[in-house]
Structures are given as structure tokens and as C-alpha cells.
Chains A and B, each alone.
Chain A
Amino acid sequence: MIHFNAFVFCGIVCLIGQIILDNTKLTPGHITTIFVIVGAFLDVFNIYDKFVLWAGGGALVPITSFGHLLIHGAMDTVNNYGVMGLFMGMFDLTSSGIVAAIIFSFVLSLIFQPRD
């Protein structure tokens, strides 16, 4: 059942993105940026956590989860260090994705030639 929920959630997020892309002049870069901001906003009142409970890994695949994980990491350190915690834990949970993207991109770009 959770596989079905993952399909529905991730599909609907992509569907919204596609509708915005087709009906406005925004570029894919704008859309991913908007989705990250929306993901961070949804975590203010713990709404995104409910999506993660409902759709499991399906809610962690769209880029909205990036914003959710950024604010989540920050709030974890805020509980221990107060306002300064906002600066400390921001990348705690997202570092895996960013570091993986940097390492793989760098190494693979040395191995492969660009194709046109």
C-alpha cells in the first residue's frame, strides 16, 4: 500500500511541476527552486513530516524533501544551541545528497567525454 502512496505523492508533485512549466514562462530552474522553498515552508508546521509518514520514500524523492531536510536539520540543532543552531545544523541531513552529487559529478566528468 505504501508503494501506491509513494506513486501518488511523487506523481502529483511532478504533475504540478509540469503544469506550471507548460502554462507559464518559468524555466525548470525556477520550478525546482520554487519547490525547494515550498518544501521548507511545509515543514514550518510539520506538514511535510506527515507526507513522509504517508508516502514513505516516495516523499523523499522529489526536490521538495531537500527544503524539508534543510529546515529539519537546522531545527534539530536549534533545540540544543538556540538561535545559533540555525547556522550549525542546516546541512546535517542533506550533506549526503550534495556531497554525492559533487563527488560523482567531479569523478565522472574526468572519465567521460561530453556528448553532443
Chain B
Amino acid sequence: MEKKEYKKIVDKYTPDEPRFRNALIAFIIGGFMGVLGNFLVDFYSSTFDLSSKDASVFMIITLVFLGCFLTCLGFFDKWVGFAKCGLIIPITGFAHAMMSAALEYRKEGLVTGIGSNMFKLAGSVIIFGVVSAYIFGLLRLLVIGG
């Protein structure tokens, strides 16, 4: 069978992704993550009497912990399957990627397993973040001057 025909038949029988529904769920769940983040900033800054900058650091640590812990308990994979980008785009997705890599490679040992594979999924975020921040920072230094 020709490849084109084969692709046609595959396309015919793959179920259509409910795009509108996915987008709506991602919007709502992502929105509530934003509200949670904002609420935590307010909560930390009023309870511990911190500036909003310090409180946002506390907020990020809390969300990272929640992402890691819920991944360990096994809930988070199901939630990510349901909400998709609603939980992948917030910082919890970064924690989820690192935690699941650490859990998955744990049986291969501490150094060769966890140590060398923890950044397998989340590493690209850091690498491209640093490279792009360096290039854009250099541009900004040249154009605006700091």
C-alpha cells in the first residue's frame, strides 16, 4: 500500500481531539493555578510580613513542592492527562518533569540513575532559558545599555 493511502486510512480512524474542550479546560485550570499563585503571594506577605518579591519566592517553592509531592502520590499524572497545558505551563509542570524522571531512573542507581537523568526532561528549559537570556541580555546591553 502506498504511504499516502495508508496515512488517509489512519487519519480516518484516529479519533478527533476535542480541541475546543481541551482549550477550555487548560484555560480554566491554568487560571486557577494563577489565582492560587497570587493567593499564596498575598498569604505569605501578610502572614510572615514579607515584601511581595520574597513572598513570590516562597510561592514558587510551595508550588514546586506540591508538584513533586503529588507526582509521588500518583495523582499528578492523571491530572496532567486531563488538564494538559493547564498544569504543564505553570511551574508545577517543571517540577513534575524532574520528579517523574527521578522516580523513573531511580532503580538504575543514585549516580547513574537519578544523578545523570534528573534533568532529562526539564533540562531543555534551563539550557534554552539561559542561552536565550544571555543573547537577549547582550542585545539589551547593546541597544538600551543595561
- The distance in angstroms between the C-alpha atoms of A75 and B136, with both chains bound, is 10
- The distance in angstroms between the C-alpha atoms of A74 and B141, with both chains bound, is 11
Contacts of B133 in A (CB 8 A): 40, 67, 70-71, 74, 90
Tell whether B122 is near chain A: CB-to-CB under 8 Å.
yes
What's the tally of chain B residues with a CB closer than 8 Å to chain A?
75
Q: What string of 1s and 0s marks CB contacts (under 8 Å) between A68-86 and chain B? A: 0011001100110001001
Which residues in B have some Cβ–Cβ distance to A below 8 Å? Answer: 17, 19, 22-23, 25-42, 52, 56-57, 59-61, 63-65, 68-69, 72-74, 84-86, 88-91, 93-95, 97-99, 101-104, 106-107, 114, 118, 121-122, 124-126, 128-130, 132-134, 136-141, 146
Which residues in A have some Cβ–Cβ distance to B below 8 Å? Answer: 2-3, 6-15, 17-19, 21-23, 28-29, 31-33, 35-37, 40-41, 43-44, 55-63, 65-67, 70-71, 74-75, 78-79, 83, 86, 90, 96-98, 100-102, 104-106, 108-112, 114-115
